Chains A and B, each alone.
Chain A
């Protein structure tokens, strides 16, 4: 045991959006190439209820209902990591793992570093797996979002947000997810695609309440021992600096949008009745897709297709390929005409691009839910 590598464990709760993110980045200096010795750190923390955080290249105005955030005292922030908008608070555990970057491609590394979260969830009796677009899923439902950031210094910051519990109605208030707000069964559509430790175990859990299990998961998968520690004075000073120069800086929070976002929708027929597809696009890239209809649970093929279409280009070949892969050519999951689905997705996408030009700031996707109509909402 004496030979086991020690990682510092930091624990804090009720942090503000800017401070929470600034501390994570400040910890990276301890794992830069010139850090001697390196100081790998696992930080397991909760945000103040509530904080809404968008991904690195998302638009705050597009993803968040900023008026509602103000009314509800919800803090806002932009993560250094990629991915979609999330709501964090006492019911979600923030995971930040900072280590010297191993010489591996990012996609492989993200998967490796998520193993600690999976092991932690398993310890709670929740059998999650890596899947979708780099998410952690339980029976196809998302239970944790992942993200990663490297800055060229030699350190890597791995992020996970683990849903101990989730107030879906509140999330729908502060995130711009018009599809869910406007579709007839919006909240249940979210509930069909997301799950929580509370829901999976039948016992109420909070973010802080699952902390020790997640810590154990990292101890097991990293083969290290965790030693409770504190920030150094240099890290505290760097975090303060980053709050002012970055995470609370309007230029970081509200940069000029690069590619315009837009959303559009179209319908197609299925044996289970009419299905509506919502597509959110940025430039010609599909940011997210949502299928809604009068089903108690979305057909598996459509759920797979939502995931497969994310981050694909909006062109017929890519959409046809995704539809083919997701249906497996069987046509048994609720609809029988792939061509009609392809046409509907492309039509919704074309409307999204049209809309992008007219309204440059539209929602592009929550981490826990795809998006977003702008017209023809049910």
Chain B
């Protein structure tokens, strides 16, 4: 089991949760996006998403080559009898699902920013859509801490 979630250079700790400042975040769905050197983007769930989802029982992806629009579904996951969609923060062609998390869904919980990544896309509207995501440290701190405060006040996560 890897644990990239310790002592990472780009890691901020916001309201008790790690947030990586090297990547971009979908405000509504708590999904991160990391541009890769080969032009693809890698996506995964952020630490708060993992916390509220609970232990994953299984997940699955659409076939490679599926055409996705921003906000569309590229797969589904099951936790605590709930099956919900995996939503892409950016439009693109589904290029790869992480085989490691299919075999071991617990990786997503153990290392959401590292080995627990979910999928890679070939983005189709990268320049237009990237500004829709949060990225600066100030944006990330403000957004993430506000969400955590809201969730705590509603009893969705522990104090």
Contact = CB atoms under 8 A, between A and B. Distances in A.
Nearest to A283: B104
B35 interface: no
Contacts of B55: 285, 311-313
Interface string A136-172: 0000000001111111100000000000000000000
B142 to A, nearest CB: 20
B103 A313 contact: no
A105 B83 contact: no
B96 interface: no
Contacts of B72: 152
A283 B106 contact: yes
A148 B83 contact: yes
Interface string A309-347: 001110000000000000000000000000000000000
Nearest to A57: B58
B58 A56 contact: yes
Nearest to A259: B103
Interface in B15-40: none
Contacts of B105: 259, 283, 285
A110 B84 contact: no
Contacts of A106: 53, 79-80, 82, 84
Nearest to A149: B83
Nearest to A148: B82
A151 B106 contact: no
B73 A151 contact: yes
Main secondary structure of the interface of A (DSSP, over half): loop
Given A105-B52, A311-B55, A133 B80 contact: yes
A321 to B, nearest CB: 13
B59 interface: yes
B65 interface: no
Interface residues of B, number: 30
Contacts of A311: 54-55, 57, 79-80
A192 interface: no
B91 to A, nearest CB: 14
B52 A82 contact: no
Given A82-B82, A150-B84, A151-B85, A107 B57 contact: no
Interface residues of A, number: 33
B102 interface: yes
Nearest to A79: B83
A258 interface: yes
Interface string B51-93: 0111111111000000000011100101111111101000000
B13 interface: no
B146 interface: no
Nearest to B74: A152
A55 interface: yes
Given A57-B60, A105-B52, A82 B106 contact: no
A245 to B, nearest CB: 14
Contacts of A100: none
Interface in A213-268: 255, 258-259
A77 interface: no
Contacts of A147: 81-83
A147 B56 CA distance: 14
Given A106-B79, A150-B83, A283-B103, 19 more contacts: A56-B78, A82-B57, A82-B58, A82-B83, A106-B80, A107-B54, A108-B154, A149-B83, A152-B72, A258-B60, A259-B58, A259-B103, A284-B104, A285-B105, A287-B57, A311-B54, A311-B57, A313-B55, A313-B109
- 4 shortest A-B CB distances, which residue pairs? A57-B58, A152-B85, A82-B78, A106-B82
16 contacts: A55-B78, A57-B58, A81-B81, A105-B52, A106-B80, A107-B54, A107-B80, A134-B80, A147-B83, A148-B83, A149-B83, A150-B85, A152-B73, A259-B104, A283-B103, A283-B104
